[in-house]
Amino acid sequence: MADTGGMSEVLDPRGVHPLGEPEDAVQSYPAPHKVETLGGMVEVKWEPEPGMTMSGPMIYFIEFLVKSGRWKRWVDSCPLEYQSPNAPAKEEILGTILLSVVSGHRRYAHITGLRGDQVMAEMLGIKTLRSEDSVRRAFEKVVEEKLTLWMDLNLGETFDALLNSPWVLDVDATVKTLFGRQEEARVGYNPAKPGRPSHVLHALLLTPAKLVLNVDVQAGNQTASLYGQDGLWGWLESRDKQQWPTLVRGDSGHGNEAMMVGCEERGLKYLFKLKLSKGVVKVIEKLSRAKGEVKWKPAGQGWEAVDHAVRLEGWSCERRIIVMRRRLEGQPKPDPETGQMRLTGLAVETGKGEWYEHATLVTNWEEKELLSIAQMYRDRGDAENPFDELKNQWGWKGFSTQDLKRSQLMTRIVALIFNWWSIYTRMATGPRHGEANTTRPMLQQGVARQTRHANQTRLTIGSVHARACPIANLFAGFSRWLTELIADAEQLTAYQRWCRILRSIFQQFAKIPLDPPAPVPLPAASNCRI
């Protein structure tokens, strides 16, 4: 008879179907143990409920949103509704999004890293932070029109009071590369990843304050400014003409007949760069090679310029163009690696052996001299920085869903929170805008422990920032200033209170009308500015 001892061990059901780990083993933390480091042996102890957060200084930003009324307004006007009694509260969804966006997340999956932060949940006045799936699915069944009106209201109220002063509107489009099967993912102009499907974000920017006015997400093959004009004209016509910009400014993608006619019909001044079409090249060559007939005038930073009136092919009328040129050391040569010229415009030889690079602007700003116009367009370079920041330091590259509706919504939510954070951090940076790479370590990141005693909650914050002490005093100054402002303005509505805050923060260029007395001065922050 064969020996079956080994066979019985193989067929033992306890080996084939193990019981798995007991629940208490999975959920319990390890016992205190020692770990060897370069500094010696260290005893490590895990706490099951530490009451800690990595975003301790966020408590001051939350106070800013609460006392300014922005948070309540955003939550109360949110169209999100649930029927199930087990569904999350909309405050929990919006609170999770707020903390995720401020933390610099770009994907819904990153939200998982925040879910255990009960301290921030309590500071936001919610039971718990919600999962990535809850946030992703939250607005799936909400009517798009309601979401648009909700975000229009809150975006508009953020900057409305600033539009009573002269300001410049910058229009631009940026590409968001996609890696899935999203709605309207199309192959178009994509300099970062040619051939990849993408979305295009047509955005409007309030240049002096570095705030996003509006953003529209469209198919990746709709990069031309023509596709963003409906949003631009609709946004302008929804506002009082007293709030319209002094100037509309854009790159060569916006220097076309449709954009210029749209501005002219609405009585708007504009300044655009022109593409190097055949007609523009002919004008440049004619002016560059004219002998003594053209008087070039200084235009700053080594450039000189000349006025010219011309009606190019496809234009409905004659317009003022500014031809600018800057002398080169010699005949330009292509880059040995890329084979392309390192120039901003067209290189032309004048006939005297001198080489100049050229650029051409078009404007209906007749009363402005050449130097002012040239400098005004150079200032547009500063408007490129917020677009770069929103893509690389905030969430405009991510938070993608299969439907365009939610991608559009999250892009606008990121813009709104970006505006809130930019206004808040101006109390530390003053007239200069501070990018998130600098302001987050300074004003958002810091370990904090929450304790309770005698019915009081205490948050002990520790910061590893090199300037932790002045930062702490700066935070305390913020809090006192907001408290004094609220105490002195009890008779004001929430919106009037917000105007008061904006007038104090942007006093260097904003003239915000407000009947009540002048606001309490901002606390001195010169020792801690970024």
Q: Residue 170: its pLDDT value, please?
A: 95
Is 30 within the bounds of a domain? no
Residues 252 and 384 in one domain: yes
Q: Residue 527: its pLDDT value, please?
A: 37
Cβ-contact 429, 23 below 8 angstroms: no
Q: Residue 214: its pLDDT value, please?
A: 96
For 387, residues 6+ apart whose C-beta sits below 8 A from its C-beta are 172, 174, 203, 205
Residues 475 and 335 in one domain: no
Of the residues 413, 432, 451, the one at which a domain ends: 432
Q: Print the domain residue range for 290.
A: 270-363
Residue-wise burial string across 342-379, b where 16 or more C-beta atoms lie within 10 A, e elsewhere: eeebbebebeeeebbbbbbbbbebeebebeebbebbee
Is 441 within the bounds of a domain? no
Residues 293 and 413 in one domain: no
For residue 224, count other CB atoms closer than 10 A to its CB: 17
Q: Residue 299: its pLDDT value, please?
A: 92
When divided into structural domains, the chain yields a total of: 3
Is 289 within the bounds of a domain? yes
Is 281 within the bounds of a domain? yes
Is 220 within the bounds of a domain? yes
Is 103 within the bounds of a domain? no
Residues 153 and 296 in one domain: no
Residues 283 and 180 in one domain: no
Cβ-contact 107, 398 below 8 angstroms: yes
Q: Residue 91: its pLDDT value, please?
A: 96
**Cross-strand bridge partners of residue 176:** 199
Of the residues 315, 330, 363, the one at which a domain ends: 363
pTM of the model: 0.87
How confident is the chain (530 residues) per 10-residue block, as mean pLDDT? 48 52 61 92 83 90 94 96 89 97 95 91 94 95 95 94 90 92 92 92 91 95 93 94 94 94 96 93 87 85 92 94 90 66 68 83 89 92 87 92 95 97 87 88 89 84 86 89 80 84 77 47 41
